[in-house]
Amino acid sequence: MSTTIDVYSTTDVFPLVHQTRARTEELFRELLARHGIDSTLYVTAFYPLEQGEEPRMVPPDMRWTPGLEIGFGYWLNAVWDCISWPECIACDDDELLECNGETAEEFFAWWGDHRIAFYGKKRFLRSHAVNLP
């Protein structure tokens, strides 16, 4: 599973990247709270990084456009954890097929519960990475 979003033009108005980032952060925080995990999670949106380059954050007024390449960074307890939690927490395509037709909340609750059950709560109490990629 990837945090990549395919945008297909049906109107001239696309949502703000910040809205997607904020919703992603909200869903992850709800997941951690539901499992009694006392960790602070922040999600940031940034442009693709070159080796050794500092992150360039996406401005709050940026809208999704076809071909826009950005990444989401996940900060766990103020430490950079990874660029994409699905990269850090593997998810099989078969799992996705079982969840078709659900709301984002329903899917994320199911998916997140499975990830926490598999990895255990301890994995989400601290970051496993200490430096930016």
Q: Judge whether 129 lies within some domain.
A: no
Domain count across the chain? 1
Percent over 70 (pLDDT), the chain: 68
Average pLDDT over residues 44-56: 83
Looking at residue 22, its pLDDT comes to 92
In a domain, residue 5? The reply is: no
Q: Is the pLDDT of residue 23 over 80?
A: yes
Q: Is residue 9 part of a domain?
A: no
In a domain, 8, yes or no: no
**By residue range, what is the domain housing residue 35?**
17-124
> What is residue 28's predicted lDDT score, i.e. its pLDDT?
87
pLDDT above 90 as % of the chain: 12
Does residue 1 form part of some domain? no
Pick 47 or 87 by higher pLDDT. Answer: 47
The whole-number pLDDT of residue 18 equals 93
DSSP the chain: ---------SSS---BHHHHHHHHHHHHHHHHHHTT----EEEEEEPPPPTTPPP-BPPTTPBP-TT---EEEEEETTEEEES-HHHHS---HHHHHTTTT--HHHHHHHHHHHHHHHH-GGGGSS-S--S--
Report yes or no on 30 lying in a domain. yes
Query: Does the residue 130 lie in any domain?
Result: no
Q: Is residue 74 part of a domain?
A: yes
The string of pLDDT tens digits covering residues 64-118 is 888 888 888 888 887 777 665 444 464 444 444 455 566 777 877 888 888 888 8
